[in-house]
Chains A and B, each alone.
Chain A
Amino acid sequence: QVQLQQWGAGLLKPSETLSLTCAVYGGSFSGYYWSWIRQPPGKGLEWIGEINHSGSTNYNPSLKSRVTISVDTSKNQFSLKLSSVTAADTAVYYCARAITSVAWYYYGMDVWGQGTTVTVSS
């Protein structure tokens, strides 16, 4: 049974860099895309970006200038950095495993982390 465990700082000041890490336990790291998603209080889900075991990334165009997702295959971990945060970045951040066919014909996130609440406040 694959499990994702995530951690990182929960309280940031404006202009600081958000940093979260997600560890994958109990399953293969290759063959999947590893994703970050966030959810502002009372709002819907927003996809942040993804990475595969080879380090190939895709980012949400609206966040691309501030986002870096990296992978450490030796530890089965992947990480999110979001720079220059503002109050608008306050959200619950989730990591997730994405299953997909070739060319994204079908796609879905079948395993999720527990979520990390990140608050940006001066």
Chain B
Amino acid sequence: SSELTQDPAVSVALGQTVRITCQGDSLRSYYASWYQQKPGQAPVLVIYGKNNRPSGIPDRFSGSSSGNTASLTITGAQAEDEADYYCNSRDSSGNHAVFGGGTKLTVL
């Protein structure tokens, strides 16, 4: 079982704001990173660290963290944001990486 827990599915109306969350004890010590994966494609890193976006990632994607919960927020969701989103961090020992189970985002 994953040490990071995500809601299996979330939906958002076009243009609205959505928050996808990830819970785990190790998130008290380590920041989460977030990945977007569309069908048949490799994952793409969208957020890492406190709130860092790799080059090319729109600024509507942002990250935050509080206690044992990390969040990915999409402000003004677009149709192209419909995808699976995975959180990722280290386990409590720091020696291993772990992924959350993934959240399927539907843009209505």
Q: Which residues of A contact B (CB under 8 A)?
A: 35, 37, 44-47, 50, 58-61, 94, 98-99, 101, 103-110, 112-115
Contact = CB atoms under 8 A, between A and B. Distances in A.
B3 to A, nearest CB: 11
A107 B50 CA distance: 10
A114 B41 CA distance: 8
A106 B49 contact: yes
Contacts of B49: 101, 106, 108
| Most interface-central of B43, B54, B89 (chain A CB within 10 A) | B43
Interface residues of B, number: 29
A98 B88 CA distance: 11
The 7 closest A-B pairs by CB, nearest first: A108-B48, A108-B33, A106-B49, A112-B42, A47-B97, A44-B102, A45-B99
Contact of A58 (B47, B88, B89, B95): B95
Nearest to B43: A112
Contacts of B37: 45
| Most interface-central of B35, B86, B100 (chain A CB within 10 A) | B35
Given A45-B102, A99-B48, A104-B30, A110 B96 contact: no
Contact of B97 (A35, A112, A113): A35
28 contacts: A35-B97, A37-B99, A44-B2, A44-B86, A44-B99, A44-B101, A44-B102, A45-B35, A45-B43, A45-B99, A45-B102, A46-B99, A47-B97, A47-B98, A58-B96, A61-B96, A94-B42, A104-B94, A106-B30, A106-B48, A106-B49, A107-B30, A107-B97, A108-B45, A109-B45, A109-B88, A110-B54, A113-B42
Given A44-B86, A99-B48, A113-B42, A106 B96 contact: no
Contacts of A114: 42
